[in-house]
Amino acid sequence: MLAWVGVLWLVEALDVLSGHALDTFGIVPRQIGELRDIIPAAFIHFGFDHVAANSVPLFVLGFLAALRDLRRFVGVVLVIVVTSGLGVWLVAPAHTNTAGASGVVFGLFGYLLVRGFVDRRLLDIAVGLGIAVVYGSILWGVLPTAQGVSWQGHLFGLVGGVASAFLFRDVRSGIIR
């Protein structure tokens, strides 16, 4: 996770040095050619404040989500990125450009929140409850309350994370472990 967050900071530094040329990899809604930007948009940010806001929660939530199985984690993140990006592409206002890892942050939050209940693991339920206590206030970010913030990316990221808990579930028996 440290390497991933480092890459986000490096990409933003390159973006600044290039005069923000990488910002074109954000998602502009309902333009077919923009579908190719769904994955790169999760790595692009609009300034160092933007990447800083995503860094700590991405590191913490990503670390917790990746602890058990790195392959599962990669699948979860891919589902979140695609779900968040497609949601932005479908419902964001016309002529906007959306980028950033916050859809992944919201997705990992949702994934960790429900994973324990889906997998029937007491430890993961406890982790999810802890995550709810520490990061639960981010749920306000799925509401259209702040100008210039993609509630669409947040909402669809959250949906992708919850869906990932079911898609990548590990239920071996009906008992709680």
pLDDT, residue 171, reads 64
pLDDT-derived band at 147 (thresholds 50, 70, 90) equals: confident
pLDDT at 131 over 70: yes
* pLDDT bracket for residue 174 (50, 70, 90): low
* Alpha-carbon gap, residue 124 to 134, rounded angstroms: 15
pLDDT band per the 50, 70, 90 thresholds, residue 48: very high
How many CA atoms does the CB half-sphere of 48 hold within 13 Å? Answer: 5
Q: What is the arithmetic mean of pLDDT over 152-175?
A: 90
pLDDT for the residue 122: 95
* Cα–Cα distance measured from residue 98 to residue 111, given in angstroms and rounded to the nearest whole number: 22
Measured distance CA(71)–CA(118) in Å, rounded: 18
76-119 pLDDT per residue, tens: 999 999 999 999 999 999 999 999 999 999 999 999 999 999 99
Which parts of 31-69 fold into alpha helices (H)? 48-66
Q: What is the pTM of this model?
A: 0.95
Distance CA 143, CA 46 (A): 21
| % of the chain exceeding 90 in pLDDT | 93
Identify the band that residue 148 occupies on the pLDDT scale cut at 50, 70 and 90.
confident
Q: What is the mean pLDDT of the chain?
A: 95
pLDDT at position 177 is 64
Output the pLDDT for position 173: 54
- Which residues contact residue 95 at a Cβ distance below 8 angstroms, ignoring those fewer than 6 apart? 28
